Chains A and B, each alone.
Chain A
Amino acid sequence: MATALTPVLHLVTCGSVDDGKSTLIGRLLAETGSVPSDQLEYARQTRRGGSTIPVGEIDFSLLTDGLEAEREQGITIDVAYRHMNLPNGRRVLIADAPGHEQYTRNMAVAASNGDVAVLLVDAARGVRKQTHRHLTVCALMGVKTVVIAVNKMDLIDYDFGTFEQLVQEIEATASRLGVPQVVAIPLSAFAGENVTAAATTMPWYTGPHLLEFLSAWVPIADTTAAPFRFPVQFVVRAEGNFRGYAGTVVAGEISPGDEITVADSGRTAIVDRIVTHEKDLPKAVAGQAVTLTLDHEVDVTRGDLLAASGPNLAQPADRFGADLVWLSEEPLAHGRSYLLVSGSRSVPATVTSVRYQLDVESGFEHAARLLNMNDVGRVEIATDKPIPMDPYALCRDTGGFLLVDRVSADTVAAGLVRHVMRRAFNVVPHTYDVDRAARVRLMGHVGKVVWLTGLPGSGKSTIADAAVASLHAMGVHTYVLDGDNVRTGLNKDLGFTPEDRAENVRRVAEVGKLMSDAGLVVLVALVSPYRGDRAAARELFAPGDFLEVYVDTPVEVCAERDPKGLYAKAAAGNLPNMTGRGQVYEVPEHPDLILHGTGDLDATVEQLARVILGE
């Protein structure tokens, strides 16, 4: 993280080979003496097919060559890291992101640590779609300074009008995205103008050349940044009862005598010493790797977050609104459990809903249920246990996370926390004297929810209706929550998009929970096509109080029955969100009971009643 001095500046470069990016980086490296002389010699003597640069002159683009496979394909497919020494002693670590269309994910990697982004634009070709994409990803990943490097000015006769028009267009996008600092430099990487020396060809430009700008850059003051944050990596135990917490200060600063809170547990302690190998420090600031000791024993383990006590403390929460950059070839699976890794912490987590997908070129949000590789989208995430995280805008380290596939161990997504949903922590449930047990005694049976799921027309309502009649005759207190009936009242504001279906399921589950708590046996008849939504419903209940019943009826049979005329409408193209047609139905993996909707109704009802009564 950048400090005032910023000894190491993290630079991300974006743009495609066609924009002249390799040439720009190559020239920067060569002209700052950051390339060994034998590699310069290689760039003088080697020529790629089609190159017009005479042998003996440096082909700057060759200095940034990477892997063999790429060289054959002539493209750059992965992020390359290079260093550059500026004349004032500053080190620049360049994360060079490929400009190719499909590699949003590589852009995101490169931008994740970036202090400054250099966004290349070809002056002759103007602003392109990818320019907006690069800008969007940089803004998303929290890059605060964007340098628009308008390259190939020599090809447009150094025309100020063209430059200005182009810059205005990009600045409009940058401003919509909330990038705090944007500067534009007209240059020619090929001719070496305004790269490491001022150009004489553009007297209308009086700003710094690129190297000058990078040397003089200081981070813009950020008053919203998080105070002290210290994720514990390692508990150090040594002779003499030494117990210290090793980690890196990722935000703010700390001194002995300061109070910290273990954000996970809410316990507080005073920092006793800041230990390093050589000596104790009077203060540690962001970026320093130290070991802290506390004034008294507190329960702290690897993954815990030590934070400044006070109003800006990160509170543990188990629901987050987050942006995901999807990295894996396997699309995001709704309701699947992943490992959420943030700093040194790792907890199981589920994506409970996809709110929208972001078009990184136009900036528009549109409805989506899936995220594919290189997609960016807003989702809701539920973690298995509450963890303290910050909004990403406050701190990249405590607001960013990875999603890891639990089988392949691949990193499938990078996530940025946008909202911490901590409302559940502000509400303290009241405990009543007449409780569930008292009601069970009065009713003579326990309340539960029996969740019938299946395709439209599979027979859920018919089965529920018959089962309730049968149970009622036996003196069981019942109620049916039928999908269509609920949608005429409680849920009449909801449609049939995946997000609305998720909310529909959530509300029905909550109502079912209240009713079963009151002692009723509640039969829910709801298509509820998504596993994730059904799993979230089940999580509300104690084991045994929620029965998932899959009404398994072949789709052809459902379509033939078509009691509500839905299949006919879908066939006519009038029902795009119809489950089993336009949207998928995710068959339950481990239902408590499978009923065949084509079987004899009486036998089916008897089978169901027995399971409900626990016989």
Chain B
Amino acid sequence: MTDLTVPYVAVLDELEAEAIHIYRETAAAFRNPVLLYSIGKDSSVLLHLALKAFAPAALPFPVMHVDTTWKFREMIEFRDLRAQQLGLDLRIAKNEVAMAEGVTPFTHGTHEYTRLMKTVALREGIDKYGFDAAIGGARRDEERSRAKERIFSLREPGHRWDPRKQRPEFWRTANTTLSEGQSMRVFPLSNWTELDVWRYIQREDIPIPSLYYAKPRPVVERDGVLIMVDDERFPLRPGEQAQMRSVRFRTLGCYPLSGAVESTADNIADLIAEMESSNVSERAGRLIDGEGGSSMESKKAEGYF
């Protein structure tokens, strides 16, 4: 009897090879590509794969972070440290106008805040530097509407995503030609799952922010969601007080919008074990998606990544 067991490492090897292939194609085919780096676990894997794809040469394109200015403090420290260690050409995109107007997640509602500080900031950043391809860490397993997303996802002039213009993808061959005003979003991790990302981080020993690991942190509970009080800008309600609880984050974004989970997993093995037993989809903890089953699709049509 043949042993039909497939070791996990073999699955990861194949996913890695596919991502590297996509990276190389992107670097060679586009005039001015950029790696969108959002500091989280997917970005960490994305960056690691990019370094692998071009070794022994250096990364042949810059890295851009869309900074909403409400990220966890540790994320920014981690970002700057990694950029320094790896000698990255790091660009920061911020919506300065919205910042000056005092847009915050507390004053403008999560949807409008996200549109201004993430979507608009991203579009402006891409336009400012003239990037024609932006590489991101989106995965098809994140949400149902992403199941049909292409690996090479076309954006029309104005960064508009038009489902009817998406190109059919055959074999490993990509049509990377752009007409006037078009740009491309590229997703090397399309076929990865969240667990693949964690297993790969474990295997490759990839540095990630410690926010992913459980630690006593100051949190408040609002509508059943645990929010970390990361700095003095957080408006506590009358009588509200942060309490220390052992929590970790499943996804990292703007701290007022990232729900923490109670956990004691303070190392990657425990974390993976916890994930395997819970089996709740990742975006369940993100506050910005909770507006109807298809809100991600609407945001994408506006140019959200």
A residues at B contact (CB < 8 Å): 5-8, 33, 36-39, 42, 64-69, 71, 78-83, 86, 88-91, 93, 105-106, 108-109, 112-113, 215-216, 218, 233-234, 236-239, 242, 244, 246-248, 250, 275-277, 287-289, 291, 302, 327, 339, 341-344, 346, 396-397, 400-402, 404, 407-411, 414
B177-207 vs A: 1/0 string, CB under 8 Å?
1110010000000110100000000000000
Which single residue of chain B is at the shortest CB-CB distance from A216?
B4
B residues at A contact (CB < 8 Å): 2, 4-8, 10-11, 13-18, 20-21, 24-25, 27-29, 51-58, 140-141, 144-145, 147-148, 163, 165-173, 175, 177-179, 182, 190-191, 193, 278-282, 284, 293-294, 297-298
Q: Is the CB–CB distance between B56 and A289 below 8 Å?
A: no
Nearest 4 pairs between A and B by C-beta? A36-B281, A7-B10, A89-B6, A277-B52
Q: Is the CB–CB distance between B172 and A250 below 8 Å?
A: yes
Q: How long is the Cα–Cα vector from A136 to B170 in the complex, in angstroms?
A: 17
Given contacts A36-B280, A216-B4, A288-B17, A327 and B53 within 8 Å (CB-CB): no
Which single residue of chain B is at the shortest CB-CB distance from A89?
B6
Shortest distance from the beta carbon of A232 to any chain B beta carbon, whole Å: 9
Shortest distance from the beta carbon of B177 to any chain A beta carbon, whole Å: 4
Which of A36, A67, A109, A277 is B169 in contact with, Cβ under 8 Å? A109
Residues of B within 8 Å of A404, CB to CB, are: 175, 177
Q: Is the CB–CB distance between A81 and B5 below 8 Å?
A: no
Q: Is the CB–CB distance between A238 and B141 below 8 Å?
A: no
Q: How long is the Cα–Cα vector from A298 to B165 in the complex, in angstroms?
A: 40
Could you list 6 A-B pairs, sorted by A, with CB under 8 Å? Answer: A64-B147, A67-B148, A79-B168, A113-B171, A400-B173, A409-B182
Residues of B within 8 Å of A242, CB to CB, are: 56-57
Given contacts A237-B57, A277-B52, A341 and B173 within 8 Å (CB-CB): yes
Residues of A within 8 Å of B25, CB to CB, are: 233-234, 344
Residues of A within 8 Å of B298, CB to CB, are: 68
Given contacts A66-B148, A89-B5, A233 and B21 within 8 Å (CB-CB): yes
Which of B11, B20, B56 is A91 in contact with, Cβ under 8 Å? B11
Shortest distance from the beta carbon of A237 to any chain B beta carbon, whole Å: 6
Q: Is the CB–CB distance between B175 and A69 below 8 Å?
A: no
Given contacts A36-B281, A83-B191, A287-B17, A233 and B24 within 8 Å (CB-CB): yes
Q: Is the CB–CB distance between A409 and B179 below 8 Å?
A: yes
Residues of B within 8 Å of A7, CB to CB, are: 6-7, 10-11, 13-14
Residues of B within 8 Å of A327, CB to CB, are: 168
Residues of B within 8 Å of A91, CB to CB, are: 6, 11, 14
Given contacts A7-B13, A248-B21, A411 and B168 within 8 Å (CB-CB): yes
Q: How long is the Cα–Cα vector from A343 to B172 in the complex, in angstroms?
A: 7
Q: How long is the Cα–Cα vector from A302 to B7 in the complex, in angstroms?
A: 34
Question: Given known contacts A288-B17, A289-B20, A327-B168, what 10 new A-B pairs fall within 8 Å (CB)?
Answer: A37-B281, A67-B294, A71-B294, A78-B148, A112-B170, A247-B21, A277-B52, A401-B173, A402-B175, A409-B178
Residues of B within 8 Å of A108, CB to CB, are: 168, 170
* Residue of A36, A112, A244 ringed by the most chain B CB atoms within 10 A: A36
Q: Is the CB–CB distance between B10 and A289 below 8 Å?
A: no
Residues of B within 8 Å of A400, CB to CB, are: 170-171, 173
Q: Is the CB–CB distance between A276 and B56 below 8 Å?
A: no
Which of A42, A68, A109, A409 is B170 in contact with, Cβ under 8 Å? A109
Which of B15, B16, B56, B284 is A239 in contact with, Cβ under 8 Å? B56
Q: How long is the Cα–Cα vector from A485 to B246 in the complex, in angstroms?
A: 94
Q: How long is the Cα–Cα vector from A80 to B168 in the complex, in angstroms?
A: 12
